[in-house]
Structure 1
Amino acid sequence: MLSHEELKTKALNRPDVKAEYDRLEPEFAFLDEVLKARASTGLTQAEVARRIGTTQSAIARLESCNAKHSPSIATLQKYAAALGCRLEVRLVRPE
């Protein structure tokens, strides 16, 4: 059985998989930041939900980066504030 890293390496050797992986990188980077921010506070999804007046399932959707559930800037600002953070949105030109 392959380890996660071995499977990832094998999959990324395929050009189609690599292209999709690269395309999704900004979303995964955002998700990583979101999860790290919440983990650093020690808060659960339910605790964050209570702080911003929503449900745990809404926080789970926000943290899933599911294209069907794109949160608004206002929601992201509330989420950030609940974690003691501020939201920054930037437009960056491709290299």
Structure 2
Amino acid sequence: MAKARKRKRFTEAYASLDLEYQVVSQLLKARTHAGLTQDAVAERMGTTKSAVSRLESAGKHAPSMYTFNPNGID
């Protein structure tokens, strides 16, 4: 891992993933703080509950920022 961190592309990719995981973590906190269900969030985002669940389980599935629909964010 130490060798990989010296490579620019690795560092950029790692930073990008870290940012995505931070965003997902904040979304989960915001959803629970607002008292919303995954179904409610999915409806607002124009997606499915399964897609929201996949986003929130970032440890099992790689989150994708492309899942977000800006029309669902108030």
Q: Structure 1's 44 and 37: CA in aligned 2 closer, same or farther, altered over 3 A?
A: same
For residues 45 and 21 of structure 2, the distance between their equivalents in structure 1, rounded to whole angstroms, comes to: 24
Over the residues paired in the alignment, what is the CA RMSD in angstroms? 2.8
CA-to-aligned-CA distance 1:20-48 (integer Å, 9 cap, x gap): xxx67655433321111111211000011
| Count of residues in Structure 1 that have an aligned counterpart in Structure 2 | 60
The 4+ residue runs of structure 1 with deviation greater than 4 A are 23-28
1:75 is aligned to: 68
2:39–2:49 Cα contact (<8 Å) kept: yes
With the length of structure 2 as denominator, give the TM-score of the two structures.
0.55
* Unaligned runs of at least 5 residues, structure 2: 1-13
Point out where structure 1 has 5 or more consecutive residues left out of the alignment. Answer: 1-22, 85-95
CA distance in 2, matches of 1:32, 1:76: 18
Aligned to 1:32: 25
Which structure would you say has the larger Rg? 1
State, as a whole percentage, how many aligned pairs show the same letter.
42
Task: Describe how 1:53-64 pairs up with structure 2 within 5 A.
Answer: 53-64=46-57
Output the TM-score relative to the length of structure 1: 0.45
Structure with bigger RCO (C-alpha 8 Å, 6+ apart): 2
